[in-house]
Amino acid sequence: MLNFYHISVIQFFKSSWAEVRAGAAMFIGFLLGNLPKEHFSHLNTGTITKGLVMLLQDPDPVVRVKAAEAMGRFH
């Protein structure tokens, strides 16, 4: 189920709506920030990180801020 959530949310990183991209970044940040460390092996963290780095370069400043916040939640 966890794999389903993160794969589904990553698809929203490419939305044409900035609000959706920002929300997807925050969702993944909250998910990973509250996930016990033993479950990280079930996720493709490389894909998640790559998507968030892409959002850090988004034209919309709100999306960039939310991507940075999301990354800060799962340090």
Confidence at 1, pLDDT banded by 50, 70, 90: low
Q: How far apart are alpha carbons 25 and 14 in whole angstroms?
A: 11
| pLDDT (average), residues 61-66 | 98
Round to whole Å and give the CA distance between 20 and 26. 10
- Is the pLDDT assigned to residue 75 strictly greater than 90? no
User: For the chain, which residues make up each domain, given as ranges?
Assistant: 2-73
What would the 3-class secondary structure string for the chain be? CHHHHHHHHHHHHHCCCHHHHHHHHHHHHHHHHCCCHHHHHHCCHHHHHHHHHHHCCCCCHHHHHHHHHHHHHCC
Q: What is the CATH number of domain 2-73?
A: 1.25.10.10
User: What rounded mean pLDDT belongs to the chain?
Assistant: 90
pLDDT digit string, tens, across residues 20-37: 999 999 999 998 888 888
